[in-house]
Structure formats: C-alpha cells, structure tokens
C-alpha cells in the first residue's frame, strides 16, 4: 500500500511539473499574440493534461462541467485551437467524425492503433517501423518532415467479442 501511495505521489508531482512547462509555453504564446491568460484557459489546460488520452472537445467539456459549470463548449473549442497554435496539442481525425486532441509538447513521437469497434486508441512506438520509413524515403530520394501512422482494426477485447 505504501508503494502505491508513493507511486501516485510521484506521478502527481511529475504531472504538476509538466503542467508548469506547458503553462509557460502557453503564456509565452498568449503574450506574443497579445491575448490574455485566463483562469479558464489554465483550468482547461489542467483538465486536458489530466485526461492523459485523446479527447474530443465535448469530452473535455463534460470533464470541465464537473469542476466549473461556467465554462462553455465554445470556450473549450477556442482554447483547444489555441493549444494547437502554440504547439501544445494536435488535432487528430481517427475516422469516426470526431476531432480529437492530443498533447504533443514534450512527448515522444508515436503512432496509433485505432479500434473501429469501441474507438479505443492505443499509442505505440516502434523503432523498426521508423527505420523502415526512413529507408523507404531514402530509396525514393524523399525528405520526410513529419508523418502519421494509424492502423485500424479491432482491439483484443473487441476481437474476443467478435469471435463469440
């Protein structure tokens, strides 16, 4: 039980430190564009960081309603777009018609497995895939600036249900 508490405390401390870095980046972007740092933007950033997953604006709105009923959905959308502009987040489309937002600042490059049944998104890193992409680019005299790899199929839970 002591280890669980220590691990939880360490995780909380790490999240707080990361939030401070992201808040600094956001504040710099806001100042550069003559915008205002608001308590709403800070609260949305905190909730976005705590989610630790790909979220839609609507999901983040529901999370925020539990903490602060005064924040509207339009504010969530505008703030998520601001996060994208300053390099904290990226909007992703995973084929279900919903824009999802993902934290990208200070995060290792990764790719995605997307379950077409339950919509679960699994992040993964694979050095062999990265090397193969670089090899293919070299063979074709192509310079890669960025890429997104999304593999669609069934997660293990949905595959089990499908076999029944």
| Residues 114, 123: Cα–Cα separation, whole Å | 9
| Residues 54, 36: Cα–Cα separation, whole Å | 26
Q: Per residue in 25-34, pLDDT tens?
A: 667 766 776 6
CATH number of 109-164: 3.30.1490.190
So where are the chain's domains? 1-107, 109-164
Find out whether 25 and 88 touch, Cβ atoms under 8 Å: yes
pTM: 0.65
b (16+ CB within 10 A) / e for 87-102: ebbbebebeeeebbbb
Q: Residue 22 has which token pair?
A: 């992201």
Q: Per residue in 55-112, pLDDT tens?
A: 999 999 999 888 777 889 999 999 999 889 888 888 988 888 889 998 876 667 888 8
CATH number of 1-107: 1.10.10.10
């Amino acid at each position: 039980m002591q280890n669980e508490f220590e691990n939880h405390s360490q995780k909380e401390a790490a999240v707080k430190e990361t939030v401070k870095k992201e808040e600094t980046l956001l504040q710099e972007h806001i100042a550069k564009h003559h915008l205002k740092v608001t308590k709403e933007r800070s609260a949305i950033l905190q909730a976005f960081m705590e989610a630790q997953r790909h979220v839609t604006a609507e999901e983040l709105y529901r999370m925020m309603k539990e903490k602060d009923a005064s924040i509207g959905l339009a504010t969530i959308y505008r703030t998520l777009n601001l996060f994208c502009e300053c390099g904290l987040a990226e909007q992703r489309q995973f084929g279900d018609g919903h824009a999802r937002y993902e934290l990208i600042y200070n995060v290792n490059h990764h790719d995605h497995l997307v379950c077409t049944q339950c919509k679960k998104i699994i992040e993964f890193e694979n050095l062999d895939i990265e090397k193969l992409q670089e090899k293919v680019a070299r063979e074709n005299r192509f310079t890669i600036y960025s890429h997104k790899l999304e593999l669609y199929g069934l997660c293990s839970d949905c595959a089990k249900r499908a076999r029944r």
